[in-house]
C-alpha cells in the first residue's frame, strides 16, 4: 500500500507542481479557472486514452513512438511556456502605455491562457497515463493486497494534490509586485527543464546520438530518484547525471527566453510586468 | 496556429529521421521481464559504444523500465516489447528497475572498459 501511495504521489506532484506554477503565473487574468480546468480535464481524458493505446504507440517508428511522442509534447509545452512569458513581458509594456485598451488585452490574455491550458494538459497527460497504467495493473492482478494498494493509490492522489495546493498557496504568499517576477523565473526554469527532458527522449529514440556522456554525478548529494530530487526535476529540470545535450538544451531555453523577453520589452521585463498586472492581482 | 503547424512539421521530420536512424546499428540485447523480475538481471556492454535493450514484458500488466543513471524511462504494456536505446557510456554500473514492481524488478547494465 505504501509503495503504491509513493508512486502515485510522485506522479501527481510532478503534474501538480506545474499546475500550481501555471495558476500562480496567471493570477488575475480573467477566465483562467476555466482554461486551467479544461487543461486538466483534457489531460485526464488523454491519459486514459494514452494508457489504452500505450502498446500501439510504443511499436510506432521502430519502437520509438513513445519517446518521440514524449519529446514532441514536451517541446510543445516549452513553446507554450515561452509564448506565455514573452506575451506577459510585452503585455506589461502595452498595459502601462495605453490603459484604455484593457478590454482588448483581456481577449489577448485568453490566448496566453490557451497556451497555459496546453501546458497543464501535457503535464497531466504524461503523469496521468503512468498512474492509470500502474493502477490498472494492480486492479488486473487481483489478490488480497489489491484493495490496499488501490487505497494507497487514492491516498497518493490526495497527498500529491495537497502538496501541489500548498506550493500554489506558497507562491501566492509572495507580494503581488514580486509574484510575477517569481513566476516568470519559475516558468523559465520549468521550460528549460522540460527541454532537457525532451533532449533525453530524443537520445532514447536514437534520433540524436551525440553528447551522451554524463557531465557529472551528483546522485550521492541529491539523488534524482528521491522525492526532493523528483520535485527539483519537475521545477528546475534537476538531473543527477546530466549529459552535454541536456545541459545545452537547458541553457538554450533559458537564453532564448531572456532574449525574447528583452526584445519585446527592453526595460526590465519583470518590473514592467509587475507594475502592469499588480492591480489585477489585488482583485 | 502557425506555431502548431511548425511543431507538427518538426515532429514529422523527427520521426522520419528516427526511421532512417534505427534501421542500422547493432542488434538489441534481449531482456525478459517475467513475474516482475528481469532476466538476465545484469547486462554487460562495452564502454563508449551505443547499445539497445529490447525489453519483453511477459507479464499481463504494464511496467515502466526506469533508470535514473541511464536516464531512461519507458512504459512497456503487458505482453509487449519495447526498445530502450542508450548512447555511449563511460565504464560503471547503471542500475535499472521496473518502476511499478520495484521490489522484485531490479537489474543493472555493467559498462566495461
Selected for mutation to probe chain A from B27, B52, B68, B105 (highest A CB count within 10 Å) is: B68
- Would the pLDDT of A278 be above 90? no
Sheet holding B51-57, edge to edge: B37-39, B29-34, B51-57, B81-86
Say what percent of chain A tops pLDDT 70.
Answer: 87
Q: What is the pLDDT of residue B57?
A: 94
From the list B64, B72, B75, which residue is nearest A204 (CB)? B72
DSSP state of B92: E
The residue that leads in pLDDT, A275 or B45, is: B45
Please report, for residues A95, A190, A269, B103, the alpha-carbon distance to residue A100 in angstroms, rounded to integers and kept in the order given.
Answer: 8, 33, 21, 62
pTM assigned to the model? 0.83
* Residue in chain B lying closest to A67 (CA): B74
Domains of chain A by residue range: 2-281
The 10 Å Cβ neighbour count of residue B70 is: 23
**At A62, is the pLDDT very low, low, confident or very high (cuts 50, 70, 90)?**
confident
When pLDDT is averaged across residues A249-264 and rounded to a whole number, the result is 95
* Residue in chain A lying closest to B100 (CA): A134
Q: What is the pLDDT of residue A218?
A: 92
Which residues of chain B have a CB within 8 Å of the CB of A215?
A: none
When pLDDT is averaged across residues A91-100 and rounded to a whole number, the result is 52
Q: Please state whether the peptide bond connecting residue B40 to the residue before it is cis, i.e. omega within 30 degrees of 0.
A: yes
Which residues of chain A have a CB within 8 Å of the CB of B80?
A: 55, 58-59
Selected for mutation to probe chain A from B1, B7, B13, B62 (highest A CB count within 10 Å) is: B62
- Would the pLDDT of A283 be above 60? no
Provide the 3-class DSSP secondary structure of residue B107: strand
ipTM: 0.76
Superfamily covering domain B27-112 = Cupredoxins -  blue copper proteins (2.60.40.420)
Distance to chain B for A262, nearest Cα, Å: 21
pLDDT under 50: residue ranges of chain B? 1, 17-23
Q: What is the pLDDT of residue A267?
A: 67
Q: How far apart are CA A101 and CA A90, in angstroms?
A: 14
- Would the pLDDT of A109 be above 80? no
- Would the pLDDT of A37 be above 50? yes
| Best CA proximity match to A252, nearest among A27, A89, A24, A82 | A82
- Would the pLDDT of A21 be above 70? yes
- Would the pLDDT of A80 be above 70? yes
- Would the pLDDT of A228 be above 50? yes
Backbone angle region of A44, left / alpha / beta, with phi > 0 → left and psi within -120 to 50 → alpha: alpha
Residue A82 grid cell: 515561452
- Would the pLDDT of A236 be above 80? yes
Q: What is the pLDDT of residue A275?
A: 53
Which residues of chain B have a CB within 8 Å of the CB of A219?
A: 68-69
Q: Tell me the residue length of chain B.
A: 113
pLDDT single digits (tens) A117-148: 999 999 999 999 989 988 888 888 776 678 88
Q: Picking from A213-217, A237-241, B41-45, which range would have the lowest pLDDT averaged per residue?
A: A213-217
Q: Are A149 and A5 within 8 A, CB to CB?
A: no
Q: What is the pLDDT of residue B95?
A: 94
Q: What is the pLDDT of residue B22?
A: 47
Beta carbons of A66 and B82 less than 8 Å apart: yes
Which residues of chain A have a CB within 8 Å of the CB of B19?
A: 61-62
Selected for mutation to probe chain A from B1, B7, B9, B15 (highest A CB count within 10 Å) is: B15
pLDDT single digits (tens) A144-200: 678 888 899 999 999 999 999 999 999 999 987 788 889 999 999 999 999 999 999
Amino acid at each position: 500500500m505504501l509503495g503504491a501511495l509513493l508512486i502515485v504521489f510522485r506522479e501527481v506532484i510532478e503534474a501538480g507542481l506545474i499546475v500550481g506554477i501555471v495558476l500562480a503565473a496567471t493570477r488575475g487574468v480573467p477566465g483562467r479557472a476555466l482554461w486551467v480546468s479544461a487543461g486538466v480535464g483534457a489531460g485526464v481524458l488523454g491519459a486514459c486514452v494514452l494508457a489504452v493505446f500505450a502498446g500501439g504507440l510504443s511499436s510506432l517508428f521502430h519502437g520509438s513512438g513513445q519517446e518521440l511522442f514524449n519529446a514532441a509534447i514536451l517541446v510543445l509545452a516549452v513553446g507554450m511556456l515561452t509564448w506565455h512569458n514573452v506575451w506577459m513581458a510585452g503585455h506589461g509594456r502595452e498595459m502601462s502605455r495605453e490603459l484604455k485598451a484593457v478590454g482588448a488585452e483581456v481577449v489577448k490574455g485568453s490566448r496566453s491562457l490557451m497556451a497555459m491550458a496546453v501546458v497543464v494538459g501535457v503535464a497531466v497527460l504524461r503523469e496521468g497515463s503512468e498512474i492509470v497504467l500502474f493502477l490498472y495493473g494492480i486492479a488486473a492482478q487481483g489478490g488480497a493486497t489489491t484493495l490496499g494498494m488501490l487505497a494507497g493509490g487514492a491516498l497518493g492522489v490526495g497527498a500529491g494534490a495537497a502538496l501541489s495546493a500548498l506550493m500554489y498557496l506558497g507562491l501566492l504568499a509572495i507580494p503581488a509586485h514580486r509574484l510575477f517576477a517569481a513566476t516568470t523565473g519559475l516558468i523559465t526554469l520549468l521550460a528549460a527543464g522540460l527541454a532537457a527532458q525532451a533532449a533525453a527522449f530524443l537520445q532514447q529514440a536514437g534520433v540524436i546520438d551525440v553528447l551522451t556522456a554524463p557531465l557529472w554525478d551528483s546522485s550521492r548529494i541529491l539523488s534524482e530518484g528521491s522525492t526532493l530530487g523528483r520535485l527539483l526535476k519537475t521545477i528546475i529540470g534537476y538531473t543527477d547525471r546530466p549529459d552535454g545535450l541536456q545541459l545545452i538544451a537547458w541553457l538554450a531555453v533559458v537564453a532564448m527566453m531572456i532574449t525574447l523577453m528583452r526584445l519585446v520589452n527592453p526595460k526590465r521585463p519583470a518590473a514592467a510586468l509587475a507594475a502592469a498586472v499588480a492591480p489585477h492581482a489585488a482583485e | 496556429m502557425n506555431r502548431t503547424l511548425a511543431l507538427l512539421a518538426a515532429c514529422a521530420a523527427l520521426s522520419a529521421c528516427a526511421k532512417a536512424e534505427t534501421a542500422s546499428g547493432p542488434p538489441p540485447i534481449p531482456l525478459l521481464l517475467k513475474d516482475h523480475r528481469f532476466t538476465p538481471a545484469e547486462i554487460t556492454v562495452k564502454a563508449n559504444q551505443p547499445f539497445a535493450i529490447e525489453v519483453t514484458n511477459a507479464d499481463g500488466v504494464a511496467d515502466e523500465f526506469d533508470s535514473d543513471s541511464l536516464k531512461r524511462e519507458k512504459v512497456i504494456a503487458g505482453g509487449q516489447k519495447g526498445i530502450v536505446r542508450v548512447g555511449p557510456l563511460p565504464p560503471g554500473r547503471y542500475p535499472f528497475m521496473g518502476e511499478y514492481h520495484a521490489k522484485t524488478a531490479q537489474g543493472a547494465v555493467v559498462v566495461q572498459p
